[in-house]
Structures are given as structure tokens and as C-alpha cells.
Amino acid sequence: MQDLISIVVGLRKRGIGFRALHKAIDNTSPGGRLVFHIFAALAEFIRELIVQGTDEGLAAARARGQRLGRPPAMTDEQIRHARVI
């Protein structure tokens, strides 16, 4: 999100307006810039909530002793057999 804001600010300094066609955001007016920054702040807030929730969920799973990540591709017996060969 910071990159998008930096790009838009850089464009504005060069006299170039930003208009999002799909979201009807027009950054060429003060009101449009306000809406753009509000949407950017909300998007960043939501992203941080998702990250926090994911971290809490992983911590809770670890506390319950659940094994996280990809399951093993081979069984213990297959590993022993491969080491013998």
C-alpha cells in the first residue's frame, strides 16, 4: 500500500492525476485524494488484522500441539528403507 501511495504522490508532483476506473476514485481533486487515502488506510488496517488473526491462530494451534506445515512425503518405514539402500 505504501508503494501505491508513493507512486500516486510522485505522479501528483509531476502534474499527473490518478483516476481508478473500477473504483471511481479521482485523485485530481482534494475530495478524491481524501477518499484515496481513507481507502488506503482501511486496506492497511484490514491487512494488519488478517496478519494478527493468522499469527494468533498459528500460536493457538502450536499450543494445542498440532503439527503445522506440509505433511511428510514419506512414512518412517520408507525413510528407513531409503537409508538402507
Burial class (CB in 10 A: 0-12, 13-18, 19+), 20: middle
The arithmetic mean of pLDDT across residues 15-39, rounded, is 81
The band of 11, judged by pLDDT with boundaries at 50, 70 and 90, is confident
What percentage of the chain has pLDDT greater than the value 70?
Answer: 99
Three-class DSSP category at 21: coil
Residue 77: what pLDDT? Answer: 93
Q: Which of 7-16, 21-30, 74-83 has the lowest average pLDDT?
A: 21-30
The arithmetic mean of pLDDT across residues 33-58, rounded, is 91
Model-level pTM?
A: 0.61
Q: Where are the domains of the chain?
A: 2-68
